[in-house]
Amino acid sequence: MPLLTALEEDAFKELFNLSFGKVASTLSEMVDAEVTLSPPFYCSLPGSSVAEYIQSLFGAEIGLVGMRYQFEFPSDQIIDGNLFQIWPDHTIDGMAVLMIRDTEMGHFLDALYGEHIPEEQLFQVEEETLQLAGDVLLYTCTSSLSTLFASEIHCEKPQFFKGAPEELLSFLALSDTQDGGENLLLRVNFSLIDKEVAGSMLTWMGGSGVPRLKAELNQFVAMYMA
């Protein structure tokens, strides 16, 4: 049975469209180029399969930066003057990831710096630059989602990954790999016009936060998509 209904899935995609629209605008200013976006792609996956999914998109040569985040909602609500605890699980945990193909990383750094970075210097600047870019772009995405959800947000510092495919699952460290739960995953592909750069941005949420996420999606449907 699907985790999301058709309406909830449409709402999830629309929310991501709104948040990534802001990311695209920010990225466009950073690289001084037009940014094109694909329609959002949605799927649900066990936590143990997310690393394999990422590798299926970009292969083993991946440069990425990931940021864990948590949306926090009120756990109670006042009804007829009485305070009720209606959500024992009042947080949604997730991770947002920015991915660039390794073969295009040099072009991405050139676009960010506005000048050519010599190949022998790429390794030195790649990690620091991607972490800085992720700090801006991933936070823009998650904070705009938090605003749409009317929730508080807590974010960890973005972390850079470049290594063997078997190390990726450990880097992602998805909590629900332990209990067999599934993640709700959204992906948008982007490209920088005339910069020879294409990449993807992913976000996923899962575990015990899924019921609360579904409630927030249904509220969004009722308010804006009914």
Tell me the pLDDT tens digit for each residue of 44-96. 888 778 888 888 887 766 778 999 998 888 766 544 444 445 555 678 888 89
Q: What is the pTM of this model?
A: 0.85
Domain 6-73+89-225 sits in CATH 3.10.20.600: no
Band (42; pLDDT cuts 50, 70, 90): very high
**What pLDDT shows up at residue 83?**
43
Tell me the pLDDT tens digit for each residue of 138-181. 999 999 888 888 888 999 999 998 877 677 877 876 544 344 56
**What pLDDT shows up at residue 140?**
92
Alpha-carbon 32 to chain mean position:
23
**What pLDDT shows up at residue 207?**
67
**What pLDDT shows up at residue 79?**
43
Asked whether residue 41 carries a pLDDT value surpassing 50, the answer given is yes
**What pLDDT shows up at residue 178?**
40
